[in-house]
Copies of this chain bind each other. A is one copy, B any other.
Amino acid sequence: VRVREVLFFPSRVTCVEGLLAAAREDGGKGLRLAPCLCSLPHEESELSRLLARLLSARRSLELCIFAFSCPQLSCAILLLQRRGVRVRVVTDADYMAVKGSQIGILRKAGIQVRHDQESGYMHHKFAIIDKRLLLTGSLNWTTQAIQHNRENVMIVEDAKYVKLFLEEFERLWEDYNPV
């Protein structure tokens, strides 16, 4: 059955360290992780469900995001890159310069990032996982939006929509080629 799901934000604030730690230890099968002792609830939330979808990537991630400052989502992207997933990021030049943006951190880790060079905003907020699953909606990847705003992220497993968004990604990737 194809995934048809929508995450509605704001998300409760929950601990996602266990999720990230498990993804980090992906190689060490069966390794038992010590439980996290922090004071946040250790339950599912919209953020943990979004993270779990992202961490399911095995081959490729195309990310097209206007604003990116959420440290946990950044951590997930770095994990994917280390796991050998081909990660490409398109973002907006103006937001990139904002304090708290994670884009510099992704670049330092060797992730390919391209940004717009035009007056309008690169305002998309979508990700494509393994050329198979599309995450798209109103949500920028900021802690403010995740914890406080009314937002949506659709999760779409439909070849036609995936193809249309992939084509848009490739158009932007070429348009924003710095050479």
Contact A161 B150 (CB under 8 A): no
A6 to B162, CA, bound (A): 10
* Interface class of chain A by DSSP: mixed
Which residues in window 120-179 of A have CB below 8 A to B?
120-126, 136-139, 144-145, 147-152, 154, 158, 160-161, 164-165, 168, 172
Knowing A4-B161, A161-B154, A165-B6, the reply to whether A148 touches B125 (Cβ < 8 A) is no
Interface residue total, chain A, C-beta cutoff 8 A = 35
Query: Which B residue's beta carbon lies closest to that of A167?
Result: B8
Contacts of A66 in B (CB 8 A): 138
A-B contact pairs, 30 of them (CB 8 A): A4-B160, A6-B161, A6-B165, A6-B168, A8-B168, A10-B120, A66-B138, A119-B148, A120-B144, A120-B145, A120-B148, A120-B149, A120-B150, A121-B149, A121-B150, A122-B149, A122-B150, A123-B139, A123-B149, A123-B151, A124-B138, A124-B152, A125-B138, A126-B152, A136-B152, A136-B154, A137-B137, A137-B138, A138-B138, A150-B172
